[in-house]
Amino acid sequence: MKKIAVFCGASSGFNDMYRKKAAELGAFFVENQIAMVYGGGKIGMMGAIADAMLAKKGEVIGVIPHLLRHEEVEHTEVSEMVFSKTMSERKVSISKMVDGYIALAGGFGTLDEIFEALTLGQLGIESKPVGILNTNGFFDPMLQQLDKMVQEGFLKPENKSMLLVGKSIPELINEMYAYKAPKVTKLVNTVGS
- What's the number of domains the chain is made of? 1
User: Do 142 and 107 form a contact (C-beta atoms < 8 A)?
Assistant: no
User: Do 122 and 159 form a contact (C-beta atoms < 8 A)?
Assistant: yes
Rounded to 10°, the helix 169-178/17-31 angle is 50
Which of 76-85, 105-114, 165-174, 182-191 bottoms out in mean pLDDT, i.e. has the lowest?
A: 182-191
DSSP string, 122-152: HTTS----EEEE-GGGTTHHHHHHHHHHHHT
Could you tell me if residue 27 is inside a domain? yes
- Name residues whose C-beta falls within 8 Å of residue 138's C-beta, 6 or more positions apart in sequence: 18, 105
Whole-number Å distance between alpha carbons of 149 and 119: 14
Dihedrals phi, psi of 60, to nearest 5 degrees: -130, 120
CATH code for the domain of 128: 3.40.50.450
Stated pTM of the model? 0.92
Dihedrals phi, psi of 64, to nearest 5 degrees: -135, 135
pLDDT in tens, 109-158: 999 999 999 999 999 999 999 999 999 999 999 999 999 999 999 999 99
Domain that holds residue 135: 3-178
pLDDT in tens, 61-74: 999 998 877 755 88
Could you tell me if residue 191 is inside a domain? no
